Amino acid sequence: MASYDLRRILAGWDYEPGQITVRKVSGDDGSVKIQMRLDLGLLQMESKGRPDGRRPFGEDSLLDYHEKRIAKYKEGNGTDLGFELSPDECQLLREETVQYYHRYLAEFVLEDFQAVERDTARNLRVLDLVVRYGRDEHDRASLEQYRPYLIMMNTRAQVHLALRQGRFKTALARVEAGLSRIQELLSDVGMEDGLDESTEAGILMSLQREIRARMPADPIQKLESELDKAVEEERYEDAAVLRERIEAMRTKSSASARRRRK
């Protein structure tokens, strides 16, 4: 007789209060599952598709189902005006976002940043959908409180993906874009000066400082510093050599940029 006791599965995998403890396992169906350790057991999620493995209305998720409904409505009416999501539909969408929330937290701990970017972007699409089509004001506003957090997590995922490739400037640009999006949200609610008080912005600002500290020194800037020092010490021959090197590097950089644009 099959045993339903979880103690065998949890043996050697202790719950750690205050920490998100996760692992990947191979399921009986051969697909990868993500398990999150809880104080009284575990939470198991599919690594792809909807976390609970269900296919509502034959689609990967309720979000996909409603997006296809909207596309069909627009095809038949030439516009999306008049399309609405009922309170029950909005509630089910909210419940679905919680599943993806648990999964992208687990993915972040597992450093699967591509999956984090995918699932946070997906939940942001839900927010956009409900804001645009929710019939009731309560439904339209209910998820907006989570938008800054989703933007922050999505940005962090993009940044870590760029850093893995050594693309420090790209990573820095991603942080700045995320901060700009949060600033826009604050401005929309009359909190133009609220960036310093935002927890999500604080996390991104800390990441911004970390990236800048890790960025390799710009070779031209380094030579320019040496040039300034040479001029200050009246080593004019050295200064002339440094100027030539700086000019050559700038010319080479400009030529490379032109080739990339082509």
Domain for residue 33, yes or no? Answer: no
Backbone angles phi, psi at 155, to 5 degrees: -65, -45
Residue 5 lies in a domain: no
Q: Other CB atoms closer than 10 Å to residue 202's CB: what's the count?
A: 13
Query: For tokens 């380094």, what's the residue?
Result: 222
Residues forming a β-bridge with 46: 33
Q: Are residues 210 and 223 in the same domain?
A: no
Number of domains in the chain: 2
Q: Give the end of a domain, one of 198, 214, 230.
A: 214
Q: How far is CA 179 from CA 124, 125, 142, 160, in A?
A: 16, 19, 23, 16
Distance CA 183, CA 194 (A): 8
Nearest-CA neighbor of 159 among 222, 126, 198, 205?
A: 205
pLDDT in tens, the chain (262 residues): 667 788 888 888 898 998 899 999 999 899 999 999 999 899 999 999 999 999 999 999 999 999 999 999 999 999 999 999 999 999 999 999 999 999 999 999 999 999 999 999 999 999 999 999 999 999 999 999 999 999 999 999 999 999 999 899 899 999 999 999 999 998 887 877 778 889 999 999 999 999 988 877 667 777 787 888 888 888 888 888 888 888 888 887 776 666 666 5
Structural contact between residues 130 and 57, judged by C-beta atoms closer than 8 angstroms: no
Q: Which of 4, 14, 72, 3 is nearest to 38 (CA)?
A: 14
| 202 and 229 part of one domain | no
Question: For residues 113 and 68, what is the distance between their CA atoms, to the nearest angstrom?
Answer: 27
pTM: 0.81
Verify that 239 and 176 share a domain, yes or no: no
Q: Do 241 and 164 share a domain, yes or no?
A: no
- Crossing angle of the two packed helices 147-164 and 168-188, in degrees rounded to 10: 170
| Per-residue DSSP letter, 195 | G
Provide the total of helices (H) and of strands (E) in the chain, helices listed first. 10, 3
Please give the single-letter amino acid code of residue 93.
L
- Domain membership of residue 99 (yes or no) is yes
* Cα gap 224→230, rounded to integer Å: 10
| Same domain (yes/no): 107, 195 | yes
What's the pLDDT score for residue 256?
A: 67
Amino acid at 234: E
Q: Domain ends where: 175, 198, 214?
A: 214
C-alpha angle with apex 60: 45 to 82, nearest 5 degrees?
130
1 found inside a domain = no
Both tokens of residue 54? Answer: 């269900």
Judgement on whether residues 136 and 79 belong to the same structural domain of the protein: yes
Residues 196 and 239 in one domain: no
Amino acid 197: pLDDT: 86
Residue range of the domain that includes 254 = 219-261
How far is CA 21 from each of CA 38, 106, 117, rounded to the nearest angstrom? 8, 8, 20
Taking only Cα atoms into account, the Rg of the chain, rounded to an integer number of angstroms, comes to 25
Residue 183 burial class via C-beta count within 10 angstroms: exposed 0-12, middle 13-18, buried 19 and up: middle
Q: Are residues 180 and 228 in the same domain?
A: no
Residue 164 lies in a domain: yes
Q: Does residue 225 fall inside a structural domain?
A: yes
Q: What ranges in the chain are assigned the alpha helix state H?
A: 7-10, 62-77, 87-109, 113-133, 137-142, 147-164, 168-188, 199-214, 219-232, 236-261
Q: Is residue 69 part of a domain?
A: yes
Q: Are residues 124 and 232 in the same domain?
A: no
Looking at the structure, tell me whether residues 126 and 162 fall in a common domain.
yes
32 phi and psi, to 5 degrees?
-80, 130
Alpha helices in 83-136 (DSSP H): 87-109, 113-133
- Report yes or no on 101 lying in a domain: yes
Asked whether residue 186 falls in the same domain as residue 203, the answer is yes
Do both 107 and 231 map to the same domain?
A: no
